[in-house]
Amino acid sequence: MDSVPTIHVLEKADYTKQHIVSLPNALSLPPLAPFSVRVKTSLISLTANNLTYARVGHLFGWWDVHPLPPSIPDTFKDASKYGRISGWGYGEIIESNVPEIQTGKQLFGYIPIGTLPVDLEVKLPGAKNQVLVTSPHRQRLLPIYNRYFLALSKAENPAPATHLGYDSLMQVLFETAYHMNRHVFAWDDTKRIHPTGAAALPWSPSDAALTDATIVIFAASSKTALSFAHQLRHNRPADAQPRTIIGVSSAASQPFTDATGFYDRVLLYADQEAARAAAASSPKVVLVDFGARGDALATWHAALAPSAAQIAVVGVGGEVRPMGAEEVTRARLAREAALSLVQVNASGLRDKALEMGEEAWLEEFLAAWGRFKDAGGVPGVELRWAEGMEEWAKAWEGLAQGRIGPETGLLFWL
């Protein structure tokens, strides 16, 4: 590679402050460690999840996945102040000393934002087309971030660009929703998994049951929320489906969210009375938080709990806004304690699902994902394609400042 690599660097205290940093001293690259691949990001998405990785990165080790490189200019060397987060997409394997992994192939997974290649020490778990990262500095990560899928090269891949774009944009988000529908709220007891994936924690058939329930989904325009609403109606037996799926959205996002057709009703955050009327005769109310604004979750819980025969609260995401590390931690703990909220762990769910059989899991999940893409994905979402790090920076600013709505899917060739 001849051009000067660039990377995306954030100020950890405020993810709206970003820098595109050139690395003229990064070349030439060192020899690969044994059983390693060198990967250069080729296609990557930008969603609100990327902002979440920055906002709560201190809790999950996300700042440490792709550390600041040794060649970083002195201005950005302070890792307590500056850092890199990552995104989901495809990276090209430009060098490999693993016999089973050929150069030119693609890896799909959690990849760096920038044009500087990353070296990954790997092993092959035995499951078809899967690769596990064993790099020592990444072993404190949740396993979902160290599992990659081996894909055809760009030249060999027959999939349309739209499908590759959806893979980057929301495959991992759809997977979380798929596991919630199939395992957290399982209609088959043999598939039932606690939202955290922890086998030792109780999660009864009553906890999992959704038959005739009212589901209230907060931040209903988020891609994970939309995927969950879709799966509740399209990948579940009719006799195990909820009675009503209510989306709760901001006024700006309500028209788009309603037009997807994935919800029975889309209400505003101020519409608690309408929700209470809709849930009045329901045997169970489930509040699912994908990132409610402010104290909306607590407010709705207080409004619905007195008349609900049974009420449960499940957390998936958090509000997208800049917050300090201590504020994030306090808010998360307070929310869980006050509402008896059970937090979903996407990695834990996948791990337990894999224990039921890796090949079967992969086949069933990819079939559901394929049906979703073949049906057009999310109605009303426009895939917006761009190229290069400068375009990435412009989109990051727009997303962080709330100027880019849920109807836009941001994708970048790097």
For the segment 344-391, what is each residue's pLDDT rounded down to a tens digit? 999 999 999 999 999 999 999 999 999 999 999 999 999 999 999 999
Q: Do 100 and 248 share a domain, yes or no?
A: no
Q: What is the greatest pairwise CA distance in the chain?
A: 68
The pLDDT score that the predictor gives to residue 157 is 83
Query: What was the pLDDT predicted at 127?
Result: 81
Alpha-carbon distances of 116 from 66, 92, 121, 389, rounded to whole Å: 11, 12, 17, 11
Q: Is 49 helix (H, G, I), strand (E, B) or coil?
A: helix
Provide the mean pLDDT of the chain.
Answer: 92
Pairing of the two strands 408-413 and 285-289: unpaired
The C-alpha atoms of residue 151 and residue 111 are separated, in whole angstroms, by 14
Residue 85 included in any domain = yes
Domain total in the chain: 2
Same domain, 11 and 133: yes
Q: Residue 363 domain-assigned?
A: yes
User: Are 210 and 328 members of one domain?
Assistant: yes
- What is the enclosing helix (H) or strand (E) of 325? helix 325-339
Q: Three-state DSSP class for 60?
A: helix
Tell me phi and psi for residue 270, to 5 degrees.
-90, 0
Domain shared by 61 and 85, yes or no: yes
322, part of any domain: yes
Residues 120, 233, single domain; the answer is no
CATH of the domain at 323: 3.40.50.720
Exposure class string for 88-107: b at 16+ Cβ within 10 A, else e:
bbbbbbeebebeebeeebbb
- The candidate with the shortest Cα–Cα distance to 83, out of 96, 93, 92, 72, is 72
5-36 pLDDT, tens per residue? Answer: 999 999 999 999 999 999 999 988 999 999 99
- Please tell me whether residues 330 and 360 are part of one structural domain: no
Q: What's the confidence (pLDDT) of residue 241?
A: 98
Q: Which two tokens stand for residue 196?
A: 């955290």
Per residue in 233-291, pLDDT (tens digit) is 999 999 999 999 999 999 999 999 999 999 999 999 999 999 888 888 899 999 999 99
Strands 130-133 and 147-151 turn out to be antiparallel
285-335 pLDDT, tens digit each: 999 999 998 899 999 999 999 989 899 999 997 544 444 545 444 444 445
Together in a domain, 26 and 127: yes
Residues 156 and 218 in one domain: no
Q: Please give the helix or strand (H or E) that residue 43 lies within, else none.
A: strand 36-46
CATH number at residue 24: 3.90.180
Q: Give the SS3 label for residue 198.
A: coil
Are residues 135 and 268 both part of a single domain?
A: no
Q: What is the pLDDT of residue 96?
A: 98
DSSP 5: P
Q: Are residues 320 and 356 in the same domain?
A: no
Residue-number span of the structural domain to which 278 is assigned = 199-344
Q: Which helix (H) or strand (E) holds 387?
A: strand 382-387
Q: CB of 53 within 8 A of CB of 399?
A: no
Q: Evaluate whether residue 192 is within a structural domain.
A: no
**pLDDT band, very low/low/confident/very high, at 340 (cuts 50, 70, 90):** confident
Position 55 in a domain: yes
Whether residues 338 and 365 share a domain: the answer is: no
**One domain, residues 334 and 355:** no
Q: Are 256 and 406 in contact (CB under 8 A)?
A: yes
Residue 177 included in any domain: no
User: Which pLDDT score, from 0 to 100, does residue 318 have?
Assistant: 58
Q: Is residue 68 part of a domain?
A: yes
Closest Cα partner for 236 from 169, 307, 187?
Answer: 187
Share of the chain above pLDDT 70, in %: 94
Q: What are phi and psi of 76, to 5 degrees?
A: -115, 15
**If you average pLDDT over residues 178-207, what whole number do you get?**
96
* E strand or H helix that includes residue 39: strand 36-46
